[in-house]
Amino acid sequence: MDESRPIFVQIAEQIENDIIAGTLAEEAQVPSTNEFAAFFRINPATAGRGVGLLVDAGILYKKRGIGMFVSPGAQSAIVERRREAFRDEFVRPLVDEAAKLGISTTQLADMIRTEKQA
């Protein structure tokens, strides 16, 4: 847990990572708030907020009396959203850094192609 960012956001991200990776399948039950809290060693209220974020975003839904489940279409929804953020989070810094180091666009493209083949 990164002590310099809101933890509930990090919890939500962790759960989303698991959904993308397929560890948490759609319609699968998600661990309870208390279980998350115990696992990550964080305050249950914080864990609850993280889960709440995902419920608000439609990624998770609640079955009364049973628990939290992954919504159908959650995986594609998350991937979609992260693709949009990909540019700001990864591409722009990559381009900026390459520019600082004097790497041309062609060289950059070559690097990316080589990396993908490996």
Partner 1 sequence: MNAAIEVRDLTKRFGAVTAVDAVSFSIRENAITGLLGRNGAGKTTLMQLLTGQQFATSGSILVGGAEPAENAAALERMCFVREAQRYPEDFRVQHVLRSARWFFPEWDAAFAQTLVTDFRLPLTRRVKKLSRGQLSAVGIVVGLASRAPITFFDEPYLGLDAVARQIFYDRLLADYAEHPRTVVLSTHLIDEVGALLERAIVIDDGRVLLDDDVDALRGTLTTVTGGVAAVDAFVGGRRVLHRQSVGSFASVTVGGLDDAARADAVRAGLELAPVSLQQLVVRTTTSAADPSASTGTEELE
Q: Which residues bind partner 1 (CB under 8 A)?
A: 1-8, 34, 37-38, 40-46, 49, 93, 96
- Between residues 26 and 31, which has the closer beta carbon with respect to partner 1? 31
- Between residues 34 and 105, which has the closer beta carbon with respect to partner 1? 34
CB of 53 closer than 8 Å to CB of 9: yes
CB of 1 closer than 8 Å to CB of 42: yes
Q: How far is the CB of 91 from partner 1 (least distance, A)?
A: 14
User: Tokens for 19?
Assistant: 């959904």
- Between residues 85 and 118, which has the closer beta carbon with respect to partner 1? 85
CB of 34 closer than 8 Å to CB of 44: yes
